[in-house]
Amino acid sequence: MPKKFIKRFLPHHDTVKNHKHLQVFGTFLHSPNLWHLNRRSVAGAFATGLFMAFVPVPFQMVLAAGAAILFNVNLPISVALVWITNPLTIPPIFYSTYLIGNWLMGRDGGDFHFELSVDWLMTGLEHVWQPFLLGCLVSAIVASVTGYLAIRFYWRHHVIKEWRKRQQKRSNKS
């Protein structure tokens, strides 16, 4: 079952409950539904975690934890999936979201030039923020819906396969 596979990689819920950055949620972290591993909870966690991974703000893990609490889905999976956007993957992912936003707005994104300076942040950012945020929103929605549906499909497929194996075993014993 996928539950056994997933459980091997998850931290113990006491470790997550006692994390210093998640103390802001207080007793909400004690809800047992945040720690369940079932099809609905894991699929919802993939949706919230993948959505929050494309939100271009710091402390995405706290946002993912808040969304997991709000939607009552698996908290550790939601928080872990935010790390899809890490310091190595942020530049290509966010540049791709910028290009997607330009494409959706019908703009040409080829004249993009980034420079790490205060002057560029004051002048250059005004030209890229709209397509960037639109691309982030669209990418977040697509990733979360795709993740949700893929996990629901995979989980159901795996359970049906296991049922058939058990049926086959029973019929072979008879």
The token duo for 52 is: 């929050």
More confident residue, 95 or 9: 95
Distance, in Å, from the CA atom of 148 to the CA atom of 159, rounded to the nearest integer, reads 17
Residue range 34-48: mean pLDDT, rounded: 90
Residue among 44, 21, 16, 42 nearest 31 (CA): 16
Structure tokens at 96: 């791709």
Q: Is the pLDDT of residue 20 over 80?
A: no
Of the candidate ranges 8-17, 50-59, 118-127, 142-151, the one whose mean pLDDT is the lowest: 8-17
Q: What is the mean pLDDT of residues 113-118?
A: 68
Is the Cβ–Cβ distance between 53 and 85 less than 8 Å?
yes
The whole-number average pLDDT for the span 130-150 is 95
pLDDT of residue 152: 94
Q: Output the CA angle 3-149-9, nearest 5 degrees.
A: 30
What does the mean pLDDT of the chain come to?
A: 84
Residue 174 or residue 67, greater confidence: 67
Q: Structure tokens of 166? A: 């058990």
Length of the chain: 174
pLDDT reported for residue 19: 66
Name the nearest CA neighbour of 21 among 68, 61, 75.
Answer: 61
Average pLDDT over residues 75-100: 91
H helices of 31-74, where? 39-53, 60-71
Q: Which residue has the higher pLDDT, 9 or 151?
A: 151
pLDDT at 4: 65
Residue 60 to residue 79: CA distance in whole angstroms? 8
Model-level pTM? 0.78
pLDDT at position 25: 67
Rounded Cα distance, 133 and 49, in Å:
18
129 phi, psi to nearest 5 deg:
-65, -40
CA–CA dist 139, 145 (Å, integer): 10
Contact 110, 87 (CB under 8 A): no
